[in-house]
Amino acid sequence: MVNQDLSRDDELKIENSRQITTIVTVLLPILVGVVGFVLVERVAGSLFWFAAVASGVILALSVLAGGVGVSRLRRGKKNRFSWFNAQAGFCVLGFILILASYPLTRAKGGELQVDANTEHRITDLEAQAADTLSLVKTLQADVISLRNQQDAFREELEQARQQLAATQRQPVQK
């Protein structure tokens, strides 16, 4: 049974639903354009793909919610849940996800381009770093050796001082 006697409010709800459906039909190609641009010009991670797919699904749900709302309204079925509010909410959420998806990408070409001269220079620097590390280890060993020698000299000096003090305390015999 189709209810042909719709109130002015019901007619406005149906017109708003048509307009939101039109907006969604404009947003879906925009989403496809964003995805196409990202495929060609940018590098996309899993968050981008999640946002893009979720946006498409939510926009489709918006059209579905509007259709259910119009259908229920024309049949005269009233319920507490507003399908038209759900349609508008899905449309806004889908649009926000489209906007949020682009910043989740990064520019292509960020890879490091290394030519033969740069590669040779990197190899030379690695060799110099290895030589420097070897020299540092040798110097550390030398410092430890010098500290041990210094400690040994201090001990000898202390023994010499003690012997000198002992000889100075003894009376000189004539």
End-to-end CA distance of the chain: 145
Residue-wise pLDDT for 29-72, tens only, equals 998 898 888 888 888 888 888 989 999 999 999 999 988 888 88
pLDDT at 80: 76
Amino acid at residue number 109: G
Q: At what angle do helices 46-75 and 8-41 cross, to 10 degrees?
A: 160
Q: Under a CB-based contact definition with an 8 Å cutoff, are residues 69 and 85 in contact?
A: no
Predicted confidence (pLDDT) per residue in 65-117, tens digit: 988 888 888 887 777 778 888 899 999 999 998 888 888 888 876 555 567 78
* Cα 71-73-82 angle, rounded to 5 deg: 100
d(C-alpha 87, C-alpha 34), whole Å: 23
Partners of residue 105 on adjacent β-strands? 44
Residue 149 has pLDDT above 70, yes or no: yes
Rounded CA separation 51/90 (Å) = 14
Please state, in angstroms and rounded to a whole number, the distance separating the CA atoms of residues 148 and 133: 23
pLDDT of residue 4: 64
pLDDT at 83: 86
Q: Which residues of 128-161 are buried (b: 16+ CB within 10 A; e: fewer)?
A: eeeeeeeeeeeeeeeeeeeeeeeeeeeeeeeeee
For residues 34 and 52, give the distance between their C-alpha atoms in angstroms, rounded to a whole number: 9
Backbone dihedral angles phi then psi of residue 107, each to the nearest 5 degrees:
-65, 145
Token duo for residue 146: 């010098």
